[in-house]
Chain A
Amino acid sequence: MTDNTNTGHNTPAHPTNSSLTTHQFDVLIVGAGGAGLRAALELQRAGKQVALVSKVYPTRSHTVAAQGGINAALGNISEDNWHWHMFDTVKGSDYLGDQDAIEFMCQQAPRIVRELEHFGVPFSRLDDGKIYQRPFGGQSQHFGQSQATRTCAVADRTGHAILHTLYQQNLAAGTQTFSEFFSLDLLIEDQQVTGLVALEIATGQLHQFNANAVLLATGGAGQIYRTNTNASINTGDGLAMVLRAGLPLMDMEFWQFHPTGVAGRGMLISEAARGEGGLLRNSLGEAFMVNYAPKVKDLASRDVVSRAIATEIHHGRGCGPNKDYIELDLTHLDAELIKQKLPGIRDISLTFTGIDPIEQPIPIHPSCHYMMGGIPTNIHGQVMTQTNGENYPVAGLYAIGECACVSVHGANRLGGNSLLDIVVFGKAAADHILSRPAEVCTTKTPAPKAINPALLKRMQAFQASRDTEIPNDANNDDSVVSFKRDLQQMMQRHCGVFRDQATLAAAKPMLEQLAQRLKTLRVQDPAQGFNLERIQAFECENLLAVAWATLESALARTESRGAHARDDYPERDDQAWLVHLLFFMQPHITLKQKPVQMQPKTVAPFPPIKRVY
């Protein structure tokens, strides 16, 4: 039983950064959202020694904010088939998704959702007792014919229900969790990932975790934009670790702007609102989506709807005194339906705008929501890299969930496919680790390694204060807050819903300036325990790396595809650009190409055709 006077956090007042606590595990999972928890559960139950390292308590992870649901061709309401789901996802990806990975995900979906239900997820129900499903954007029956009803939902709190259920299952399985540990850098020996170094936030102590396999599940990085739906913790920590280790990120030019963020604030109003019948209206009261997607209207793919909204506002048809937002109208829906199926978004609207959507439309504006790109992996979650044109897996390193790019979302993700992605590939990566031959899994001798000098230098640089040997620039009134603000502003202005050569190129000197600022950025808080300013400094470094990858990739891709819309290159160019883009930061910035996997394993490929909704 815990002694309530001894918290376990009573450490010396000024612990030195050079001391290192070492831990030994079979598998190390970084990040405790849906992907990390699903993988941990599988591995822990199979008898592996698992450490779940997370910078927040697991239930604070951003999976908790997912609202609308998780796609699976259960056919509980109308006929459905995983093959149709696959077609929709390939089309939604604007043909940039790897078709073998999409095939695998859609095939697995019904089983993986029933498994979640079995674990305890309190899905909403139909009268016959089966899981409730709702229509979502980009879904069809018979390969594009009629609207499908494929999104399995827990009211509009599906992510919360899935995250908490997986957390509960991990409690029962006995998974060991290191909460509030901030991961800093991967440890690599002879081209094999052997663990990582993390900072214990409560004490400022450094810890070295050794493991046979490191699984990154660190989520997205929507915080590179000023207006976003993301938690403040979504700063791309895993992505930047990978870049610093000389490994690539893939397809980083593709960021999803969710059509319906709360105007002026950014938080998400689920696509479920439109799935249940909500309509977007401009200042003239027109339900304008019919002009952009005549067939499916408000349930077009998210990139299409966000561009439509931006275009309406651009042409002066925005609402409000500044004509700078669009309205999401639910007032024609039954009040009981809103209370039962959309209670969470009603709550958010009431809290942040004072508007009850039963009575008045909600002011909305596109808001950065999701990163389609990420750490390239194969369908087993193994991280891939490229040398001399050859693509191969990095020994001992996996990535799953939003931080990974398998790629199942290609250039644009369909609503309801992200919760699916995290559980399918969380389990797939765990299965792959479990299937590896025993000798590969043998732990190396756990020798505490000296801390990477570059890492130590970074820590000391941020922490340099007036009394240390590293001089503090007298004129330096920069701060982590203004650094992050400027970075977000820059990305918002130069790399938003629509892009072109001039605005993108103009951002490059700003990036370089930010990189210079990072070198002299100082943390004023001298404490070791809960020095959150220091954590923010590390996050700024990570955000800058992600922004850099995004801008370089967006500049390079001279076409429009999915969420990457170039004013100067408005058409998709399959001749030149039906290809993944790899971004390396080390040893120097390089872009490389990687072929899209167009060949599924069990069905015929879907060749690229023009994407119309």
Chain B
Amino acid sequence: MLFNIQRYQPEAASAQQVGAQNATYWQEMTLDDALVKPGMMLLDALKLLREQDPTLSFRSSCQEGVCGSDAMQVNGRNRLSCITPLAELSQPIELMPVPGLPILRDLIVDMTLFFDRYAQANPTLNAGKFNPDQEHLQSPADRAKLDGLYECILCACCSTSCPSFWWHPDQFLGPAALLAAERVVIDSRDIQPKQRLEALSDPYQLHRCRGIQQCTTSCPKGLDPSRAIRQLKHQQWTQS
């Protein structure tokens, strides 16, 4: 099985001599077909490749698609390596880090900007006063509005496939953060949905979304951030 992997080794000797650009290169790697078992995921293959070359760097944790550590670009599309079946992929399998964020090493990117935008979106519910004797009541219908919003794993597949986020990662919140914003705005328990919508009324945070919908295409959990963003815009418009 053939792989073509974009490497970035900033500490390699060549990089020290001629600058960081030369630390980036493409490397072909081969995995013995005998090692490839049915049902194997891309992550399993990456672990075997790392046995060939221990410097090959990528993140991973839960290995079952719920922690969001291992987003990467696989044959041109953002995916999670742990739930991407090898059998689905045409060869050579081309691997790159997710686009638009600073690369730290090989497939590892700096997630600071991504998490900063998430915090900026104020994804924290404000349910008012706490009553230790009784939960806030919520009808099954109101609860159902959160389905498709709360399941996000913050892998960044969506935001890093969004051209608006590539251009304005410091100003446009990006689809993942906006999905989280909508998740609290629409929660029947939240006491400040209006303020939340007002806080997103500038030209960038929400309105840099151009409806490209690359976010929805790339979500490995099948969520629809594009729809959440449209809902936010609609709610903002109807409330003002």
Q: Chain A interface (Cβ within 8 Å of chain B)?
A: 1-5, 7-9, 13-14, 56-57, 59-62, 64-65, 74, 111, 113-115, 117-120, 122-131, 154, 157, 160-161, 164-165, 168-169, 171-172, 202, 231-233, 267, 344, 347-348, 351-354, 479-481, 523-530, 532-533
Q: Is the CB of A131 within 8 A of B135?
A: yes
Give which listed residue, A14, A61, A122, contacts B187 with CB less than 8 A. A122
Instruction: Name which residue of chain A comes closest to B69, CB basis.
Output: A60
Q: In whole angstroms, how far apart are the Cα atoms of A168 and B181 in the complex?
A: 11
Q: List 10 A-B contacts (CB under 8 A).
A: A3-B170, A4-B169, A7-B102, A115-B130, A119-B125, A122-B146, A122-B150, A125-B140, A126-B140, A481-B47
Q: In whole angstroms, how far apart are the Cα atoms of A1 and B124 in the complex?
A: 20
List B contacts of A118 (CB < 8 A): 127, 130-131, 135-136
B3 CB–A CB distance under 8 Å? no
Give which listed residue, A3, A13, A117, contacts B135 with CB less than 8 A. A117
List A contacts of B83 (CB < 8 A): 351
Q: In whole angstroms, how far apart are the Cα atoms of A528 and B55 in the complex?
A: 11
Q: In whole angstroms, how far apart are the Cα atoms of A24 and B50 in the complex?
A: 37
B28 CB–A CB distance under 8 Å? no
Q: Is the CB of B146 within 8 A of A529?
A: no
Q: In whole angstroms, how far apart are the Cα atoms of A524 and B52 in the complex?
A: 11
B16 CB–A CB distance under 8 Å? yes
B98 CB → nearest A CB, Å: 14
Give which listed residue, B15, B51, B66, B122, contacts A481 with CB less than 8 A. B51
Q: Is the CB of B124 within 8 A of A60?
A: no
B198 CB–A CB distance under 8 Å? no
Q: In whole angstroms, how far apart are the Cα atoms of A42 and B57 in the complex?
A: 36
Instruction: Name which residue of chain B comes closest to A160, CB basis.
Output: B66
A48 CB → nearest B CB, Å: 19
List A contacts of B32 (CB < 8 A): none
Known: A118-B127, A169-B124, A529-B105. Contact between A130 and B62, CB under 8 A? no
Give which listed residue, A56, A65, A533, contacts B54 with CB less than 8 A. A533
Give which listed residue, A171, A344, A353, contacts B123 with CB less than 8 A. A171
B203 CB–A CB distance under 8 Å? no
Q: Mark B42-65, 1 if CB is under 8 A from A, else 0.
A: 000001001100110101111111
Q: Which 7 A-B pairs have the closest CB atoms?
A: A120-B125, A129-B137, A172-B124, A530-B105, A168-B124, A60-B67, A7-B110
Known: A14-B11, A161-B150. Contact between A128 and B170, CB under 8 A? no
Q: In whole angstroms, how far apart are the Cα atoms of A232 and B44 in the complex?
A: 12
Q: Is the CB of A168 within 8 A of B112?
A: no
Q: In whole angstroms, how far apart are the Cα atoms of A118 and B55 in the complex?
A: 45
Q: In whole angstroms, how far apart are the Cα atoms of A5 and B83 in the complex?
A: 31
Q: In whole angstroms, how far apart are the Cα atoms of A523 and B180 in the complex?
A: 41
A321 CB → nearest B CB, Å: 14
List A contacts of B135 (CB < 8 A): 74, 113-114, 117-118, 123, 130-131
List A contacts of B132 (CB < 8 A): 111, 114-115
Give which listed residue, A125, A202, A353, contacts B104 with CB less than 8 A. A202
Q: Is the CB of A65 within 8 A of B125?
A: no
Most chain A CB within a 10 A radius of its CB, from B102, B151, B169, B171: B151
List B contacts of A128 (CB < 8 A): 137
List A contacts of B142 (CB < 8 A): 125
Give which listed residue, B57, B125, B131, contacts A165 with CB less than 8 A. B125
Q: Is the CB of B104 within 8 A of A529?
A: yes
Q: In whole angstroms, how far apart are the Cα atoms of A610 and B132 in the complex?
A: 37
Q: In whole angstroms, how far apart are the Cα atoms of A481 and B153 in the complex?
A: 28
Q: Is the CB of A171 within 8 A of B9?
A: no
Q: In whole angstroms, how far apart are the Cα atoms of A5 and B100 in the complex?
A: 11
Instruction: Name which residue of chain A comes closest to B60, CB basis.
Output: A232
Q: Mark B88-115, 1 if CB is under 8 A from A, else 0.
A: 0000000000000010110010111101
Q: Is the CB of B39 within 8 A of A352?
A: yes
Instruction: Name which residue of chain B comes closest to A14, CB basis.
Output: B11
Main secondary structure of the interface of A (DSSP, over half): loop
A184 CB → nearest B CB, Å: 20
B143 CB–A CB distance under 8 Å? yes
B139 CB–A CB distance under 8 Å? yes
Q: In whole angstroms, how far apart are the Cα atoms of A555 and B65 in the complex?
A: 37
A169 CB → nearest B CB, Å: 6
Instruction: Name which residue of chain A comes closest to B55, CB basis.
Output: A525
Q: Mark B61-82, 1 if CB is under 8 A from A, else 0.
A: 1111111110000000000000
B95 CB → nearest A CB, Å: 16
List A contacts of B170 (CB < 8 A): 1-4
B133 CB → nearest A CB, Å: 8
List A contacts of B189 (CB < 8 A): 120
Q: In whole angstroms, how far apart are the Cα atoms of A360 and B122 in the complex?
A: 42
List B contacts of A74 (CB < 8 A): 135
B119 CB–A CB distance under 8 Å? yes
Q: Is the CB of B143 within 8 A of A122?
A: yes
Most chain B CB within a 10 A radius of its CB, from A9, A119, A532: A532
Instruction: Name which residue of chain B comes closest to A267, CB basis.
Output: B64
Q: Is the CB of B11 within 8 A of A527?
A: yes
List B contacts of A354 (CB < 8 A): 39
List B contacts of A164 (CB < 8 A): 150, 152, 154
B163 CB–A CB distance under 8 Å? no
Instruction: Name which residue of chain A comes closest to B20, CB basis.
Output: A10
List A contacts of B62 (CB < 8 A): 60, 62, 64-65, 231-232
Q: Is the CB of B11 within 8 A of A65?
A: no
Known: A4-B169, A111-B132. Contact between A529 and B153, CB under 8 A? no
Q: Is the CB of A120 within 8 A of B127?
A: yes
Q: Mark B151-187, 1 if CB is under 8 A from A, else 0.
A: 1111000000000000001110000000010001001
List A contacts of B113 (CB < 8 A): 2, 4
List B contacts of A114 (CB < 8 A): 130-135
Instruction: Name which residue of chain B comes closest to A124, CB basis.
Output: B143
List B contacts of A3 (CB < 8 A): 170
Q: In whole angstroms, how far apart are the Cα atoms of A172 and B64 in the complex?
A: 29
Q: Is the CB of A127 within 8 A of B54?
A: no
List B contacts of A13 (CB < 8 A): 10-11, 15-16
Instruction: Name which residue of chain A comes closest to B47, CB basis.
Output: A481
List A contacts of B184 (CB < 8 A): 120
List B contacts of A125 (CB < 8 A): 138-140, 142-143
Q: In whole angstroms, how far apart are the Cα atoms of A418 and B123 in the complex?
A: 26
Known: A9-B110, A117-B135. Contact between A60 and B68, CB under 8 A? yes
Q: In whole angstroms, how far apart are the Cα atoms of A495 and B96 in the complex?
A: 41
Q: In whole angstroms, how far apart are the Cα atoms of A522 and B51 in the complex?
A: 13
Q: Told that A9-B110, A351-B65 touch, could you supply 9 new A-B pairs with CB distance under 8 A?
A: A7-B112, A65-B66, A113-B135, A114-B133, A129-B139, A171-B119, A231-B67, A353-B39, A530-B105
Q: In whole angstroms, how far apart are the Cα atoms of A214 and B190 in the complex?
A: 35
Instruction: Name which residue of chain A comes closest to B145, CB basis.
Output: A122
List A contacts of B133 (CB < 8 A): 114
